[in-house]
């Protein structure tokens, strides 16, 4: 009888309840310890594969909100006074120092200082041998005909071209359009008078083109930020 009672003697309820909790905690702790290295490795791989500041944000929608906010802030009119004269800021190679806008051909493109294949993929490039916009001389800006300057040939005399920089806004008027061979440097050489030259290749389906098309613009308004 005593043996039978011993047989059916039940484990206390507290032990029955606490055992699963303790085992779960022990196992979780062990898993965390074992998993630290693989987790770090995995995180590194994920960062390499999908790295971007978006991963650091709480969600993609947060990033979109931030971008929207940045755009709205950019849209705000600057409360600064302007004058005809002022000082230009010399950019460094590869820096986006201006934006080029021309409503006539629906053009809005960033302008980088210096010119190479990578920069030409991002926007228009200004030859570093030419003059910084706002100074006397020839400011020469080029871009690919297949990307940003695809409609350059449509610019007509009298069309307005605006260049915005960190130091001012400069408005030009199209004076003429010319075509020249790529070895001819007449239109991209330095000049005494202030002007803006936009140029690109003449579109060619087969092979590359030796012909260049340039739009020569003269300044009509200068607004240096004070």
Please give the residue ranges that form the binding site for another protein (CB under 8 A). 1, 4-5, 7-8, 10-11, 15-16, 19-20, 23-24, 26-28, 30-31, 46, 50-55, 57-60, 144-147, 150, 203-207
Q: At its nearest, how many Å lie between another protein and the CB of residue 38?
A: 12
Q: Record the tokens describing residue 47, joined without a space.
A: 């960062």
User: How, if at all, do strands 211-225 and 138-142 pair?
Assistant: unpaired
Half-sphere exposure of 179 (CA within 13 A, CB side): 7
> What's the chain's length in residues?
226
- Do the beta carbons of residue 212 and residue 182 sit within 8 Å? yes
Q: At its nearest, how many Å lie between another protein and the CB of residue 205?
A: 4
Q: Which is nearer to another protein, 4 or 76 (CB)?
A: 4
Q: Record the tokens describing residue 224, joined without a space.
A: 């240096």
> Of 135, 110, 104, which Cα lies nearest the Cα of 122?
110
Q: At its nearest, how many Å lie between another protein and the CB of residue 108?
A: 16
Q: Which is nearer to another protein, 36 or 220 (CB)?
A: 36
- Do the beta carbons of residue 99 and residue 110 sit within 8 Å? yes
> Of 220, 223, 212, which Cα lies nearest the Cα of 196?
220
Q: At its nearest, how many Å lie between another protein and the CB of residue 99?
A: 21
Q: Which is nearer to another protein, 63 or 82 (CB)?
A: 63
Q: At its nearest, how many Å lie between another protein and the CB of residue 66?
A: 13
Question: Rounded distance, CA 101 to CA 78, Å?
Answer: 18
Q: Which is nearer to another protein, 34 or 80 (CB)?
A: 34
Q: Which is nearer to another protein, 7 or 73 (CB)?
A: 7
């Amino acid at each position: 009888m005593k043996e039978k009672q011993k047989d059916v003697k039940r484990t206390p309820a507290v032990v029955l309840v606490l055992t699963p909790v303790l085992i779960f905690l022990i196992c979780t702790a062990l898993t965390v310890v074992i998993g630290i290295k693989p987790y770090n490795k995995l995180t590194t791989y994920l960062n390499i594969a999908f790295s971007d500041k978006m991963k650091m944000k709480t969600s993609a929608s947060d990033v979109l909100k931030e971008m929207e906010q940045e755009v709205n802030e950019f849209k705000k009119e600057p409360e600064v006074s302007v004058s005809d004269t002022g000082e230009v800021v010399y950019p460094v190679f590869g820096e986006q120092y201006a934006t080029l806008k021309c409503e006539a051909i629906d053009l809005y493109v960033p302008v980088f200082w210096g010119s190479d294949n990578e920069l030409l993929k991002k926007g228009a490039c200004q030859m570093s041998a030419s003059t910084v916009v706002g100074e006397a001389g020839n400011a020469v800006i080029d871009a690919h005909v297949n990307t940003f300057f695809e409609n350059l040939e449509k610019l007509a005399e009298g069309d307005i071209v605006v260049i915005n920089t960190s130091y001012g806004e400069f408005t030009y008027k199209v004076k003429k359009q010319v075509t020249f061979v790529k070895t001819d440097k007449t239109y991209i050489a330095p000049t005494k008078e202030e002007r803006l030259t936009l140029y690109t290749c003449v579109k060619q389906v087969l092979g590359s083109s030796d012909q260049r098309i340039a739009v020569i613009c003269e300044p009509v308004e200068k607004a240096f930020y004070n």
